[in-house]
């Protein structure tokens, strides 16, 4: 959300500059747009990072699934009715302790995954910015604006397709991040 707000301010500043700066003519003021999310999803390094995050999440999910299965089996044992009252109480105590541990672990895993996602977004935002800057400087753009997507606030509501440099940024990103 913060990135979107900053991008919006940059976009507004670039547009304001274009309108009020008498030294810049329409021919010299070049702006491009790109989709930062697409750069990460389509670049080789971005795909690797997303796969690593997915694998990390899947290993955590396997542990949660095993815990879930253990809880179901223990619950089934309690409900079978073949236990003595004291054995049933003991199993219910075990179930309660395991359920609390399961819930703690689930919360911990969710926090870990969210932290990894935040770290990846921060790292790759810097890398995408460097690639966008290289493309912008090479092509003489005064600004390269992230056009956003449907899941986030769209900064750019309209642009000519020729202004979209996402593919160029993907190539530059791959070149910089082998």
Residue 31's DSSP bridge partners are 143
Q: Are 57 and 113 in contact (CB under 8 A)?
A: yes
- The Cα–Cα gap between 128 and 19 comes to 28
Residue of 13, 5, 4 lying closest to 36 (CA atoms)? 4
Residue 27, phi then psi, degrees to nearest 5 = -75, -30
Q: Which residues have C-beta within 8 Å of that of residue 173, sequence separation ≥ 6?
A: 39, 43, 45, 46, 127, 128, 131
Domain ranges of the chain: 2-176
Q: What is the pLDDT of residue 117?
A: 94
- pTM score of the predicted model: 0.69
Residue of 111, 110, 128 lying closest to 41 (CA atoms)? 128
Q: Are 63 and 101 in contact (CB under 8 A)?
A: no
Query: Token pair of 10, please?
Result: 């940059």
CATH code of 2-176, in short, is 3.30.910.20
Q: What is the pLDDT of residues 152-171, one digit of tens each?
A: 777 787 888 888 999 999 99
Q: What is the pLDDT of residues 31-83, one digit of tens each?
A: 999 999 999 999 999 999 999 999 999 999 999 999 999 999 999 988 887 88
Residue 169, phi then psi, degrees to nearest 5 = -70, -35
């Amino acid at each position: 959300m913060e990135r979107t707000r900053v991008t919006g301010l940059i976009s507004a500043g670039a547009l304001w500059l274009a309108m009020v700066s008498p030294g810049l003519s329409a021919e010299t003021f070049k702006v491009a747009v790109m989709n930062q999310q697409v750069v990460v999803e389509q670049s080789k390094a971005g795909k690797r990072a997303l796969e690593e995050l997915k694998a990390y999440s899947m290993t955590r999910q396997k542990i949660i699934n095993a815990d879930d299965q253990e809880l179901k089996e223990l619950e089934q044992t309690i409900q079978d009715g073949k236990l003595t009252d004291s054995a049933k109480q003991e199993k219910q105590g075990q179930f309660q302790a395991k359920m609390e541990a399961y819930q703690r672990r689930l919360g911990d895993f969710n926090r870990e995954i969210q932290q990894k996602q935040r770290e990846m977004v921060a790292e790759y935002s810097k890398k995408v910015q460097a690639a966008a800057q290289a493309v912008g400087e090479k092509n003489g753009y005064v600004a390269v604006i992230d056009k956003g997507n449907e899941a986030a606030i769209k900064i750019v509501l309209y642009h000519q397709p020729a202004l979209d440099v996402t593919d160029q940024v993907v190539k530059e990103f791959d070149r910089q991040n082998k």
